[in-house]
Structure formats: C-alpha cells, structure tokens
Structure 1
Amino acid sequence: MNDYSASPSAGSRSARRWVVLLLCWASLTMTSVDRSTWGPASLQAGEALGVSLAGLGAFATAYYVGYVLSNIGGGLLGDRIGSRVVLSGSLFTAGGFMIVFGSVPSAGAGIAVQALIGLCAGADFAAGVKLIASWFGERERGLAMGVFTMASSLGTMIANALVPRLIQWYDWRASYHLFGIVSMGLALVCLTLLRDRREPAAARPPLRGLVRDRNLLLIGLAGFGGLWGTYGFVTWSNTLMVTGRGIDPVAAGTVVVVFAAAGAVGKPVIGLATDLAGRGRKRPAVAVLVAFAVCLLLFGGMETETAFLVMAGFAGLGAYLYSPLLIAMVPGLSGTALAGSAAGVTNALAQLGSVTVPVVVGAVYQSTGSFSAAFATLAAGPVAGAVALTFVREAHVRAAAGDEARRTPGRARFRRP
C-alpha cells in the first residue's frame, strides 16, 4: 500500500522534499559504494579466489547484468506500489548480499553473489528518480538531479579512499562486510522517513508508449556510451595503473578519488546552470561527452602519478556531468506518472554499457598489453553517446512544436513528434 503524504502545507512540502532528496541521495551513494568496491578490491580478491587478470571483469559484468534487470523491474514497481518501499528494499537486500560476498569461498560463488547484489541494488535508482520528479518541478530538476547523481561520484570516492586502506589494515573482505552493514542500516532509515507524493488525478498514460518513444531510446543509447566510459574507468583504472604503469595501489586509488570528486562537485553546478539558463540540457550533455572522450585518450598517454592526478580531475568532469542532464530530461518526456518506469527503462539500456565494457576492456588489455589501447576502447563509448544524443528532441522543443501546430495547423500539423 502506498504511503502518500496527504495535502501538506506549502512550507511542510518544501521541507519534506529536501528530506526526500537527501535520503534518495544517501541511498544511491551507498549502492554506488557497493558497486565501486570491486575496482580497488579486485586484485586482492582475484588472488584469493584464484581468478586471472582478464577474469576479473566477469565479476563486474555479473553485477551489471543484475543491475540492468532490476532497473526495469524497480521502475515498474515504483510507479505501482510506491517508490519508498522499492528504494528501501533495494538498499537493504543489496547490503545483505554485500555481507555474503565478503565470505564467498570460490570464484563461481562470488560471480553469482555479485549478480545478486546488482539485482537488488539497481531498483533504487529508478525509485529515486520517481520520488524526486514528483517532489520537484521541471525548473528545479536540474539541480535536484545534480545533487542526486552526486551519489555515484561520491560512492566511487568513498570506495577508492577506504578500500585500499581496509585491505592494508585487514583484508579485502572487510570492505564488503562494513559497507553491507551500513547499507542495511540506511535502508531502515529510508523506510521510516521517506514519503511518496500523490499525483494529481489523471489518466495514466499507456506504458507501451515508453518503449516506442524515440527520444527516450536515444537518451538510453547516449547513457550507454557515457557509462561505457565512466564505469569502464571505475572498474579498470586501478588495475591498469598498477599493472600497466607501476603505480602504487593506494596512489591509484587516490587518482580515482580525484576523478570522482571532480564529478561530485560539478554535477549540481551544471544542473543549476541549465535550470537558470532554461535553454535545454541536450547541447551541454553532448559537449560533456565529447570532452570526456578526449580526456580518456589523453589519460591513456599518461605515465606518472602526478600526470594521472592532474588529468583525473578533467576526466572526472567529463565522466559524470552528462548524467544529471540526461536524467533530468526523462520525466519531461515521460510525465511524472511514469517517471519511475521511464527512468528504469532508459537506465537499464544505459547500464548495458557497464555490463559489456569490463569484459571488452579486459580482453583488449590482455591481448595487446597496451595501456593506451585500453583507454582508447573506453573513449569510443562517449563518442557514440554524443552522436546518439544529437538526434534527441527535448520536451520543451516538442511542446513548442505542438504550440506552433495549434497556431498554424495547415503548415505544422504533420511534423514528427
């Protein structure tokens, strides 16, 4: 049964929406920590479980297979039974399987549990988008989604700052036990304090329209290309810097922290800037994706710790700033009634990039032994994403076309939606 807030006053509604945003952000932060833990832990975990260097990518791929499936299911459930229950349940069960993964005895068991972690964790993204879209209007969503998506950057920062040190102090399993416990505790807080918001009475648009919406499909493909670069970097950069350039593991973790920190700072800034400009989010997102591809190519040519640290900041901006723009575009195209389903479907398509890139980059690096070739492979994703995004028509452009059609029906009636 949905736990809807009943006609709150303007003041209480304003306060409540920031609580909702904070808890959605905290939840996504923890599932991002859970997802990012494998990067800095992979070498030690692989040695303990008897996994080859190329085989390490299978663990990340297993996670993302589950994650993609749960994005679709979580979005559909959030629109029907309420996003509060879906988000809290997603975080709680993901935390439980993190604890289980910290005790797996073999590689096969580990790959299976990683898939289960992803299957549980993915639902919180679509649920969070649904909650934020219902509590924040179109002119505020850039900032709200910027704050919300800071979580993925912060999750990468936290994992890469803490996991190498936890390995030094204890072992790689300690990270999974710690983060699992924290995730389960936060889930109980979300279940207690989050509230769904009742939508105004209106006919629910048909769900099949989401699948046929060309613009949502293109946004999903743009996200595919962006996440190919982003999570390929998060998954492989530690291992590549250590094995390909001889960088100390703790120093490599610091490079990824800088990479993620730049994205965390930039996301709300670019979200607010596009809200204030009011000229759409497509063109800034295309520019960010192109810049990201260039940074990945340059990163592949670096050789020293100092050079990696400098380039990591620029690469981090490219790797993360497109995401709040793409996500903020989705509710405007789908409507808030189906925002959860639309976010789940588009993110599931986007996350296929995360599913495939770990294995592809691992195969490229093992076959060529080339650090630069691995990063050139990563750069191909953002380029493809930028191309797909150029064909999107944003919601405000479509609305303007509709207004023109009503004013001059003979001339504009047959424009494609």
Structure 2
Amino acid sequence: MQSCRNCPCTSRSRARTATARTQRSSRSCVTSTRAGSSYRWTILAAGVVAQASFSAILLGLPAIAPQIRHGYGLTLTQVGVVLAALNVGLFVTLLPWGIVADRIGERAVLATGLTGCAAALVVAGFTSSFGGLVAALAAAGALGGGTQSASGRAVMSWFGPEERGLALGIRQTAVPLGGAIAAGALPALSAHISLRAAFFGLAAGCVAAAAIGTALLRSETTKADEHEDASPPLRNPRVWLLCAAGTFYVTTQISLIGFLVLFLHDDRGVSTAASAGVLAGTQVLGGAARIVVGRWSDRIRARIVPLRQLALALAVAAGASALLVHASLWLLVPALAVAGTLGLSWNGLSFTAAAEAAGRRRSGAAIGLQQTFLSGGGIVAPIAFAAIVHATSWRLGFALAAASPLFGYALLSPLAERRS
C-alpha cells in the first residue's frame, strides 16, 4: 500500500484530481452570479418589469399634463408641483428603502412598496383637489421608492463586472420603457374614459409588477461577498461625488422630458396625441441609448469617462434645442428628440458606477443615496424650470437646462479613469 501511494502515477492522478477540484471550486465562486447561472436573466426581467411599472408614473404623468392642468384648473407652476410630488416622496424614503433592502432582501421591499404605491394611486384617482392630488402622488412616490433600490440591487447581485454595465443599462431601460408605454396609454385612457382611469391603469401596472417580483426574485450571494469592502456609502466620497454630479444631469433630463408635451402643445400648437407620440419615441430612443452606453462602458472598462462625454453631448444638444425653440417643427422636434435621448442615456451608467463604488453588499444603500439626490433634483427642476419659463421664456429655460450637465462634468473629473 505504501508503495502504491508513492507511485508516481498515483501521485499525478491525485494531483490532477485535486487541481480539477480546486478549479471547479474557484470557478463556482467566481461565476455563480455570472455566466454560470442563466437565472440571472430572469432576475433582470423581473427588475425591468418592476422598474417600468414605477417609471410609468414618474415619466408618464407629463403625457397627460394638459389634462391634469385643465381638469384641476392649475397654473403652470402648480403643474410643476404636481410633477414634482412623486419626487418629494421618493426623496424622503429612497435611502431608508435601500438600507432595508440590504438587510431583508429585495423581494419583500419590492412587493411591499409597489402594493402601497398602487393604493396611493387609487386615492389619487378619487381626489378632486390640487392639495389632495399632490399628497396622494407624494405618498405613491414614498411607497414605490423601494422599487429603485430593490430591483437595482437584485441585478447588481446576479451579474459580474464584465457585463454589469450592460445588465444595469437594460434594467435602467425600464425607466424610459415605462414612460413610453404610459405616454401612449395614459392620454388614450384620459381621453376615451377619464382622468381617473389613467391613475387606475398606473395602479394596475404596479400590482402586476409586485406579483411578478414576488414570484421570481431571489437572493444570490457568493464567497466573494464575505471579503468585500463593506464601508457604508455615506462615508464613501466617490459615491457622494457621483450623487452630486447626477443631480445636474437629471435637472436637464427633467426639464426636457417633463415639459416636452406641454411645450409642444401650449407653445407650438401641436396636438396632445402628437406631442405624446414625440415623448414616447424619445423614451424608446433613450432606452436603447442606455443599453448601448452600458455595453460601451463594459468594453472600455470605464464608467466615469463615458459619463463625462455624455455630459458634453447633452449640453450641446439641449443648447441646440434652445436656439430652435421658434424654428420649424421639422427642425425643432428632431433636436428635442436628440436632446431627450441623451438626457435619458446616462442614468444606467451612473447607477452602475454608484453601486460598484459601494460593493454588492451595500449596493442597496448606495443606490438609495444616489436616487435620493436625483429625486432632490427632480423636486427642484420642474418647479424652477416652470417658474423660469413663466417669468421669461421657453428659450431661456432650455438654455439654462443646457448648462446644467457641465457642472456634473466638472464634478466627475477627479473620478475619471486614467489610461495606463
């Protein structure tokens, strides 16, 4: 027996067996959340549905802004307050929802948040006053805010860094996708049934997404998580810079997307249906741009460099739209579509950068913090933009929006990846 154990053939066999076992173990640790598990695409699909249902509210309401304005007898500034109400609720609860998602998991947060959001939308449908509408939409934002962190954290956990930009880009495509669907459906519901039916339709979408998320989402962790830097995002200066820069990007996004229908309808005399069609088309293009940008960032192994380049492109496109405010619609509409597409393109990349800066175990809190900043911008931007337009002109409003991403460009300079 001793001689057999010392036999070179047996030793080599044992070595090969041990090596193979080590390689299999190593691969299982590294790829369990990547190509080794096709279920990650199911997780991504559930995240897309959940985010689309909530984004349909956030980006779909501008499509029926004229109906809301006339139905409630609102001024332009009050319309800005209504459009900002969801972000008021989001601002308060996004970070807490992210921390809760890190502690108890994505499924419970998503199901609870979307169900509560649906209930608030039903209340919004029954309210008949400006104050009641604002309160109901703020509650919908506060309850639905868990969707942002939960669905993003789930996707972050199941995909590795080599395809995470693409995956989170696809997930963030749900934002303009939900907006595009709502931009097509809400005006039809409002025109052919009632404004109340539009709110009920949004609520139904949230209930369906909550059911899908409850059925499909599950947690995935690896041994790599045990060795990950778990420093809180609130102490991470990289996360703070990303959050602050994103605020300047989102200001331009909301100024362009949130008032596109109202501008084309009220100032240029385009029908509500045609204006909503332009908005829907822009949302679709913006969604495609998020996927392309995410894949681009994976290929060049950088997040900040593309973010800064997008800031420059967005500033140029929004500035061109400001110059063409009174030009032919054949020139103005394409300019607005390009600017809106660029205004929507950056979000998935910023989302990915913030989540990666914090690490997977703390990604919920990082996403919550980042989305809190974006919601803060979402509160200020529509109110400020509407007030500026009301006091001056659409041209000045768009021109100021064009300048905003340049501040984000400057803030991200210290974080830009350097070529070796």
Tell me, yes or no, if the aligned pair for 1:258 and 1:316 is still in contact at 8 Å. no
120 and 315 in structure 1: CA distance in 2 versus 1, 3 angstrom threshold:
same
Amino acid in the other structure paired with 2:352? A
1:34, distance to aligned residue in structure 2 (A): 1.3
Q: Does 1:362 align with 2:404?
A: no
List aligned pairs for 1:234-313, cutoff 5 A: 234-278=257-301, 280-300=302-322, 301-303=324-326, 304-313=328-337
10 and 260 in structure 1: CA distance in 2 versus 1, 3 angstrom threshold:
closer
1:13, distance to aligned residue in structure 2 (A): 5.7
Task: Indicate the residue corresponding to 1:170 in structure 2.
Answer: 193
- 1:111-145 CA distance string (max 9 Å, x none): 10011011012211111221111100111111001
TM-score w.r.t. length of structure 2? 0.87
Aligned with residue 107 of structure 2, among 69, 72, 84: 84
What is the distance in 2 between the residues matched to 1:170 and 1:81? 41
Identity among equivalent pairs (%):
24
Q: Does 1:331 align with 2:355?
A: yes
What is the distance in 2 between the residues matched to 1:174 and 1:16? 36
1:315, distance to aligned residue in structure 2 (A): 1.4
Task: Indicate the residue corresponding to 1:220 in structure 2.
Answer: 243
What is the distance in 2 between the residues matched to 1:334 and 1:171? 45
1:50, distance to aligned residue in structure 2 (A): 2.6
Amino acid in the other structure paired with 2:365? S
Q: Does 1:231 align with 2:274?
A: no
276 and 27 in structure 1: CA distance in 2 versus 1, 3 angstrom threshold:
same
1:281, distance to aligned residue in structure 2 (A): 1.6
What is the distance in 2 between the residues matched to 1:41 and 1:332? 37
How many residues end up aligned between the 2 structures? 389
Task: Indicate the residue corresponding to 2:146 in structure 1.
Answer: 123
Q: Report the 3-state secondary structure (helix = DSSP H, G, I; strand = E; otherwise coil) of the residue aligned with 1:102.
A: helix
What is the distance in 1 between the residues matched to 2:325 and 2:277? 16
What is the distance in 2 between the residues matched to 1:95 and 1:189? 15
List aligned pairs for 1:167-206, cutoff 5 A: 167-200=190-223, 202=226
Tell me, yes or no, if the aligned pair for 1:247 and 1:305 is still in contact at 8 Å. no
1:199, distance to aligned residue in structure 2 (A): 4.5
User: Which deviates more from structure 2 when the two are superposed, residues 104-113 or residues 33-42?
Assistant: 33-42
- 1:192-215 CA distance string (max 9 Å, x none): 1111113436278565x4223221
Tell me, yes or no, if the aligned pair for 1:199 and 1:337 is still in contact at 8 Å. no
Amino acid in the other structure paired with 1:361? F
1:166, distance to aligned residue in structure 2 (A): 2.2
User: Which deviates more from structure 2 when the two are superposed, residues 171-180 or residues 352-361?
Assistant: 171-180
Q: Does 1:345 align with 2:345?
A: no
Amino acid in the other structure paired with 1:211? L
1:357, distance to aligned residue in structure 2 (A): 0.4
Amino acid in the other structure paired with 2:76? L
User: Which deviates more from structure 2 when the two are superposed, residues 193-202 or residues 214-223?
Assistant: 193-202
Task: Indicate the residue corresponding to 1:50 in structure 2.
Answer: 73
1:393, distance to aligned residue in structure 2 (A): 5.0
Tell me, yes or no, if the aligned pair for 2:72 and 2:129 is still in contact at 8 Å. yes
- 1:354-407 CA distance string (max 9 Å, x none): 110011011111111x1211212322322222221222256xx79x9xxxxxxx
User: Which deviates more from structure 2 when the two are superposed, residues 216-225 or residues 154-163?
Assistant: 154-163
Q: Does 1:99 align with 2:122?
A: yes
- 1:297-351 CA distance string (max 9 Å, x none): 2222234433333223321331122112111112321111101111111221122
Q: Which blocks of at least 5 consecutive residues in structure 2 are unaligned?
A: 1-28
TM-score w.r.t. length of structure 1? 0.87
What is the distance in 2 between the residues matched to 1:366 and 1:298? 21
341 and 248 in structure 1: CA distance in 2 versus 1, 3 angstrom threshold:
same
Tell me, yes or no, if the aligned pair for 2:239 and 2:354 is still in contact at 8 Å. yes
What is the distance in 1 between the residues matched to 2:58 and 2:154? 22
285 and 196 in structure 1: CA distance in 2 versus 1, 3 angstrom threshold:
same
Tell me, yes or no, if the aligned pair for 1:27 and 1:124 is still in contact at 8 Å. yes
What is the distance in 2 between the residues matched to 1:241 and 1:373? 16
1:80, distance to aligned residue in structure 2 (A): 0.1
Task: Indicate the residue corresponding to 1:408 in structure 2.
Answer: none
What is the distance in 1 between the residues matched to 2:132 and 2:244? 32
Calculate the aligned-residue CA RMSD, in Å.
Answer: 2.3
Amino acid in the other structure paired with 1:285? L
What is the distance in 2 between the residues matched to 1:12 and 1:333? 22
What is the distance in 2 between the residues matched to 1:9 and 1:285? 29
Question: Structure 1 runs of 4+ off > 6 angstroms?
Answer: 7-12
Q: Report the 3-state secondary structure (helix = DSSP H, G, I; strand = E; otherwise coil) of the residue aligned with 2:74.
A: coil
What is the distance in 2 between the residues matched to 1:357 and 1:331? 25
1:149, distance to aligned residue in structure 2 (A): 0.5
Give the structure with higher Rg (CA).
2
Q: Which blocks of at least 5 consecutive residues in structure 1 are unaligned?
A: 1-6, 401-417
Task: Indicate the residue corresponding to 2:405 in structure 1.
Answer: 382
Aligned with residue 63 of structure 2, among 27, 40, 44: 40
Q: Report the 3-state secondary structure (helix = DSSP H, G, I; strand = E; otherwise coil) of the residue aligned with 1:195.
A: coil
What is the distance in 1 between the residues matched to 2:303 and 2:135? 38
Q: Report the 3-state secondary structure (helix = DSSP H, G, I; strand = E; otherwise coil) of the residue aligned with 1:140.
A: helix
Task: Indicate the residue corresponding to 2:135 in structure 1.
Answer: 112
